[in-house]
Structure 1
């Protein structure tokens, strides 16, 4: 069913509507047999992604949701039945800013009486690991916002984001690299048995948000753990090799070698390192299973092999 302008349909406000997660939420709701009005928030309504959403019936609002812009957030949330909120630590690498903005958005939703607040959270790694991994700010900040939302009294649902399937395709330090004999090596500081909840975010994340809205099993106070497929890194590499026809092997390297190989500033490399070590030791979702969160999805999710087959690897496996 197409997105509607009918005032009888629930109004869903989507923060970051032109991003991977926000765009996926719009995609999933537009596939529903239920009708939704959608108000999309973005800083730039003129970019091509925004114009395409507008053509599909999304009401676009240009707004910068910084912590000092609470009045604009309240205005953007006004009359909404449901709000989907995501913050982007990687945009500025400032965890204090992310936490302040997340809390401001929760306060804004509370002020206007939102019926359902859906938050894209992550585990607090510093808490789960009892302080062993304190530098994974993109998890820890979202974990702090999650706790604030749960204590706020608003109807709060935490739809956690899984491990992006694009990471082995997109991120320097995580791509396979070619060695002299033509073999490709993917080298990380964890064992190949490390299990990840891999998700093709643009295609599938929104399915879990739709589930949180439409399934009576979920609702205020619930938690949804997103995953297209739970798969080990070793199996991911084996499938990548089989599908692409390239010789690709996995190697476990030292923490120091990994940090050097990323080419990232020390504090960012340390953050990535600690996140991987945590995933191996504690589990991405701290040992919680994703099975219940997949029971009421509107359609099947893409597996890792599905993602590999739908992706052009020529820029990585040259």
Structure 2
């Protein structure tokens, strides 16, 4: 056996793939092949400087030949799709996910880890349309039915804390009196399953240490379950800043999301309708199983770790 096992990471410059790469770098038995659409980007260049065990490879995951070249000789693959890359064409996620599975099966890749979600459309009997969740679930079903012999592990991240801090953060603002207002189109008692997305990396690293123990399993990457109001109370308790939770009307949410196409606004509103009652999962799901593998951050520990204090 080679000293180093090659792990190929899709979306290596993004939140999920980047977390996986950073965690794998702490292990001493992996070489990492980082796939990216643009190897000359600043994010890709920064990745390359992290270690000699990193290989940056340009890959369009809609292109079969690209995937055949990029997946070749991999011991394991971490695969994910990005709804936000083509939000007005959500069906592309399904196409990409299926193609990656097809290529991995063709190349007899030993282990395939796929980042997915639940099928809200199906679980709601078609009342809700949430392709950013459901299309990943469709790919998961395709993999399990089409390639039952492929050694696949499914990871299901919950709602990122970083959704409040990114380049397009969720609606949060500082009011005139200094209060930090967190706003969502859901009840104050709506359910939030939360995760520090950086914790996905240690989960995947753990899975790859003994992958045979997890074949065919769904691993939920979730640090806690809290309601929206308690989430904001935690913020105040840790930061000392006064804060409040606000339930947005549909009109208010659409005003906030006015730069997004109407169909994407609809997808998000339906997502929050589901989350209000169920969070990111369903009641029968054991969302704590990822916590059995490694310690995961709660909102409290993430706030302390990150030093995030909300908007100025």
TM-score normalised by structure 2 residue count? 0.89
1:190 corresponds to? 186
1:73 corresponds to? 67
3-state SS in 1 of match to 2:165: helix
Deviation at 1:88, TM superposition (A): 0.9
Q: Is residue 159 from structure 1 mapped to residue 152 from structure 2 by the alignment?
A: no
Deviation at 1:171, TM superposition (A): 7.0
Distance 1:189 1:43, change over 3 A: closer
C-alpha distance in 2 between matches for 1:172 and 1:76: 31
1:113 corresponds to? 108
2:12 corresponds to? 17
C-alpha distance in 1 between matches for 2:290 and 2:181: 34
Deviation at 1:216, TM superposition (A): 5.9
C-alpha distance in 2 between matches for 1:45 and 1:260: 36
Deviation at 1:37, TM superposition (A): 1.6
Checking the alignment, whether the CA contact within 8 Å between 1:194 and 1:279 is kept in structure 2 is yes
Checking the alignment, whether the CA contact within 8 Å between 1:212 and 1:224 is kept in structure 2 is no
C-alpha distance in 2 between matches for 1:122 and 1:58: 28
Checking the alignment, whether the CA contact within 8 Å between 1:122 and 1:143 is kept in structure 2 is yes
C-alpha distance in 2 between matches for 1:282 and 1:239: 21
Checking the alignment, whether the CA contact within 8 Å between 2:76 and 2:110 is kept in structure 1 is yes
2:121 corresponds to? 126
TM-score normalised by structure 1 residue count? 0.88
CA deviation profile, 1:44-103 (whole Å, cap 9, x unmatched): 22233323332312111112222xx20220121111111110111101111111111111
C-alpha distance in 2 between matches for 1:308 and 1:236: 11
1:249 aligned to which of 216, 220, 244: 244
Moved over 6 A (4+): none
Distance 1:173 1:117, change over 3 A: closer
Unaligned runs of 5+ in 2: none
C-alpha distance in 2 between matches for 1:175 and 1:260: 11
Q: Is residue 271 from structure 1 mapped to residue 279 from structure 2 by the alignment?
A: no
1:260 corresponds to? 255
TM-align CA RMSD: 2.2
C-alpha distance in 2 between matches for 1:125 and 1:143: 9
Distance 1:102 1:198, change over 3 A: same
C-alpha distance in 1 between matches for 2:41 and 2:180: 37
1:207 corresponds to? 202
Distance 1:155 1:253, change over 3 A: same
Checking the alignment, whether the CA contact within 8 Å between 1:99 and 1:141 is kept in structure 2 is yes
Distance 1:173 1:268, change over 3 A: farther
1:143 corresponds to? 137
Checking the alignment, whether the CA contact within 8 Å between 1:199 and 1:227 is kept in structure 2 is yes
Unaligned runs of 5+ in 1: 1-5
1:88 aligned to which of 82, 88, 95: 82
CA deviation profile, 1:240-287 (whole Å, cap 9, x unmatched): 123333221112233333333333432222211111110122331112
The alignment covers a number of residue pairs equal to 305
3-state SS in 1 of match to 2:153: strand
C-alpha distance in 2 between matches for 1:215 and 1:141: 28
Checking the alignment, whether the CA contact within 8 Å between 1:121 and 1:158 is kept in structure 2 is yes
Q: Is residue 294 from structure 1 mapped to residue 291 from structure 2 by the alignment?
A: yes
Deviation at 1:180, TM superposition (A): 4.3
